[in-house]
């Protein structure tokens, strides 16, 4: 009887042009000449539609009111759809793309919120975003090679994870995160173990070299880009990465790199290849950022904070710039290589911000650049070696030493001679410079911790002492204060003396 019902339904559809109804359970998958609606846990193949209508395109929907779905569309023949759309919240949309086949979405990726979209398989997922935008709060999990064609938009609340060893790439335009959008490359579990790897490639094709459009753009607040361990993101092999922000102070993007991020810059009219006018940049122990181009504008510019435990390599002719009120945290394993040098111990970090290349009086593309001073905080979470800092006249550099040692090449001041240095949690010889790079201590303020309640005392007798070709900051008064271990010995001796006195008594 069930077979007869299906044959009758099929015959009715072919004769009357109505719905084709595929019944495997109580749920129904609805198919017309222009649309496919998958309901329940059913599976529908592209080849079935092609055989029925001799067409390779139809709008694809999942679920409808009152009938949620966890269904699957199998792309066993190349297929395209105007949209990949859940009808209501709570839908799970599964699309499996077979090897050698393509699945193209030409209007939008996902529609309503509260859904999940899984795109997987060995084929290719093509998102043709011509004059359209995409995404809402629906998480989109990409385990298929994915290409964004033209302008790719991830709208407010979009969550996209690229995994399964697959590639998310873009062509001819840019990938834009439009506020509270989250793009994750690769997957890890709660313990940080790699679940699957992914690859993001933004316009790496030579054919698009001259379009000046090779960007990952973050617009609005709350955007997040995460590159997990063993995964890779390459932005602008020929151009660069640029970040836009709204007028709000918190606009921009949080970036976490535990994998590899490659940034190029050639032939681009924009002057900042790696400009973060937003929130925080965190590079973990396994993280690598390569800014590979020697173009004179391919600098790394940090607006808010940089927390580094990995490797940042910036090509010859370009540098790292920390803006006013920004924070630089250097952890164990930190290796920041600016201007093409081989290691952090030779790198100079610029503490200033301004227009374009941040250097006074240089004309670039008809604009005479200006730089302004930046007051920056540097936090040491481990001993560090660094080539030095370059400051603006009158700037304040605060270094939280945390009783770690910082070996500097020196500190230079641009367009002036005065700067202010604040050293917190100082111990003797925790700051040193090359022997010939000492500076006046008139405007240096150092403090040391007196107990575990974070009480600090200021030091007023700093001086330079030279040992083995290096100059160290030293305080005789601080040297006279016993270290905690010495205090323990002193109190121990007092206690023994008291015991001996009691016995004699």
CA 433 to each of CA 176, 333, 388, 413, 425: distance values in angstroms, whole numbers, following the listed order: 44, 21, 9, 15, 18
Q: Torsion angle of alpha carbons 74, 78, 84, 89, nearest 10°?
A: 0
Query: pTM surpassing 0.85?
Result: no
Do residues 298 and 320 lie in contact, with contact meaning Cβ atoms separated by under 8 Å? no
Do residues 299 and 274 lie in contact, with contact meaning Cβ atoms separated by under 8 Å? yes
> What is d(CA 500, CA 33) in angstroms, rounded to the nearest whole number?
102
Three-point CA angle 242, 244, 248, nearest 5°: 150
> What is d(CA 26, CA 43) in angstroms, rounded to the nearest whole number?
14
- In degrees rounded to 5, what are phi and psi of residue 498? -65, -40
Region of 471 (left: φ > 0; alpha: ψ -120 to 50; beta: rest) is beta
Q: What is the 8-class DSSP label of residue 111? A: -
Q: Which residues are paired to 372 by β-bridges?
A: 353
Q: What residues contact 146, with CB distance under 8 A and at least 6 apart?
A: 119, 124, 125, 126, 127, 162, 166, 167, 168, 169
- In degrees rounded to 5, what are phi and psi of residue 479? -65, -30
What is the chain's pLDDT, residue by residue, as a tens digit (505 residues)?
A: 333 333 333 333 333 444 444 444 454 789 999 999 998 899 999 999 999 999 999 999 888 877 778 899 999 999 999 877 777 667 788 999 999 999 998 766 555 556 788 999 999 988 876 545 555 556 788 888 888 776 666 766 778 888 888 888 876 556 777 777 888 999 999 998 999 999 988 754 444 344 445 667 777 777 889 999 999 988 764 334 555 544 444 456 789 999 999 887 554 444 455 655 557 899 999 999 998 776 656 778 887 899 999 999 998 888 898 888 899 999 999 999 999 999 999 999 998 764 444 444 444 444 444 556 789 999 999 999 999 999 888 889 999 999 999 999 999 987 767 889 999 999 999 999 999 999 999 899 999 877 655 666 888 899 999 999 999 999 998 887 765 555 455 445 555 554 554 555 5
């Amino acid at each position: 009887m069930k077979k007869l019902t299906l044959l009758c339904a099929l015959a009715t559809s072919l004769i009357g042009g109505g719905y084709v109804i595929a019944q495997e359970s109580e749920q129904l998958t609805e198919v017309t000449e222009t649309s496919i609606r998958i309901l329940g846990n059913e599976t529908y193949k592209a080849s079935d539609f092609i055989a029925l209508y001799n067409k390779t395109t139809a709008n694809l929907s999942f679920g409808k009111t009152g009938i949620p779905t966890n269904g699957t569309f199998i792309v066993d023949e190349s297929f395209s759809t105007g949209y990949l759309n859940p009808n209501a919240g709570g839908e799970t949309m599964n699309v499996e793309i077979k090897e050698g086949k393509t699945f193209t979405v030409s209007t939008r990726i996902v529609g309503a919120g509260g859904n999940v979209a899984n795109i997987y398989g060995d084929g290719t997922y093509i998102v043709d975003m011509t004059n359209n935008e995409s995404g809402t709060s629906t998480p989109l999990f990409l385990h298929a090679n994915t290409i964004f064609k033209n302008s790719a938009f991830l709208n407010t609340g979009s969550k996209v994870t690229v995994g399964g060893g697959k590639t998310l790439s873009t062509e001819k335009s840019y990938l834009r995160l439009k506020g509270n959008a989250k793009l994750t490359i690769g997957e890890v579990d709660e313990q940080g173990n790699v679940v699957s790897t992914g690859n993001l490639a933004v316009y790496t094709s030579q054919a698009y070299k001259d379009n000046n459009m090779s960007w990952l753009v973050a617009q609005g607040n709350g955007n997040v880009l995460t590159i997990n361990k063993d995964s890779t993101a390459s932005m602008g092999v020929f151009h660069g990465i640029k970040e836009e922000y709204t007028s709000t102070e918190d606009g921009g993007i949080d970036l976490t790199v535990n994998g590899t991020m490659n940034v190029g810059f050639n032939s681009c009219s924009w002057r900042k290849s790696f400009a973060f006018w937003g929130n925080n940049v965190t590079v973990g122990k396994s993280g690598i950022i390569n800014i590979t181009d020697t173009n004179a504008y391919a600098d790394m510019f940090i607006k808010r904070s940089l927390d580094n435990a990995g490797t940042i390599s910036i090509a010859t002719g370009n540098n790292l710039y920390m803006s006013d009120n920004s924070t630089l945290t250097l952890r164990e394993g930190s290796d920041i290589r600016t201007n093409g040098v081989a290691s952090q111990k030779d790198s100079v970090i610029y503490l200033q911000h301004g227009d374009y290349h941040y250097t006074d009086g240089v004309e670039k593309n008809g604009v005479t650049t200006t730089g302004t001073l930046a007051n920056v905080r540097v936090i040491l979470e481990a001993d560090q070696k660094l080539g030095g800092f370059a400051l603006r006249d009158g700037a304040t550099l605060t270094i939280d030493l945390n009783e770690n040692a910082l070996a500097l090449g020196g500190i230079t001041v641009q367009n002036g001679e005065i700067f202010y240095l604040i050293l917190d949690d100082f111990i003797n010889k925790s700051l040193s410079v090359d022997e010939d790079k000492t500076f006046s201590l008139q405007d240096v303020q150092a403090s040391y911790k007196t107990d575990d309640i974070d009480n600090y005392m200021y030091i007023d007798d700093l001086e330079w002492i030279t040992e083995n070709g290096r100059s160290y900051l030293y305080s005789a008064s601080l040297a006279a204060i016993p270290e905690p271990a010495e205090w323990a010995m002193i109190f121990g001796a007092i206690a023994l003396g008291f015991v001996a006195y009691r016995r004699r008594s």
